[in-house]
Amino acid sequence: MRRGEGAVGARPVGWWWRLRRPRVALLALCVGLAAAPAGAQGPIGLEVLVSHISDRPGPIDPRGARVHRELQGRFRYTSLQVLAQRSMSLALDEVGTVGLPNGKALRVRPNDVGASGVLLAVSVEGTLDTDLRVRNRHLVVVGAGRFEDGTLVISLEPTF
């Protein structure tokens, strides 16, 4: 019998066999590590806020405080009203849709999560398509064009 060929009850004794188990474990480790970023990712949380800013006198909606902090001083408006607020939990490649007050739709699809954040495909129907690489809790504010007497503002904040 050649060394290493297992008859019933026989134990392989060659140096190759001694190397075999650690090698298999290392291969499993490599495959596991390579698969980890794509497979081990849980759902992506996404806070979506749809607001309307205008020059019409009015309050700043407290739900839109963070958006207001970022926009004031950059754009001229006197009131901010939150029209819709949605919390979504999306798996990779799952599409989340939010209806907008102008009859269009916002669609978001997380494509990939890496060390530099989540890659989001964002589409504001008829207005804008974009791919964004966003870190955890990074706020993205989109001015989505004229709406009534002001501007429609969409903010996205992913959590993962």
Q: Where do contacts with other proteins occur on this chain (CB under 8 A)?
A: 15-16, 19, 22-23, 26-27, 29-31, 33-38, 53, 70-71, 74-77, 93, 95, 107, 109, 111-112, 114-117, 119, 121, 125-135, 137-146, 150-151
Distances (CA, A) of 89 to 56, 66, 93: 35, 21, 12
Residues in the chain: 160
Between residues 84 and 132, which has the closer beta carbon with respect to other proteins?
132
Q: How far is the CB of 144 from other proteins (least distance, A)?
A: 6
Q: How far is the CB of 150 from other proteins (least distance, A)?
A: 7
Structure tokens at 112: 């990939």
Q: How far is the CB of 7 from other proteins (least distance, A)?
A: 20
Contact between 61 and 82 (Cβ < 8 Å): yes
Between residues 10 and 69, which has the closer beta carbon with respect to other proteins?
69
Write the secondary structure of 64-88 as one string of H (helix), E (strand) and C (coil): HHHHHHHHECCECCCEEEEEEEEEE
Between residues 9 and 76, which has the closer beta carbon with respect to other proteins?
76
Residues 6+ apart with CB under 8 A from 160: 41, 42, 43, 44, 45, 113, 118, 136
Between residues 71 and 82, which has the closer beta carbon with respect to other proteins?
71
DSSP 22: H
Q: How far is the CB of 73 from other proteins (least distance, A)?
A: 11
Between residues 9 and 110, which has the closer beta carbon with respect to other proteins?
110
Q: How far is the CB of 65 from other proteins (least distance, A)?
A: 13
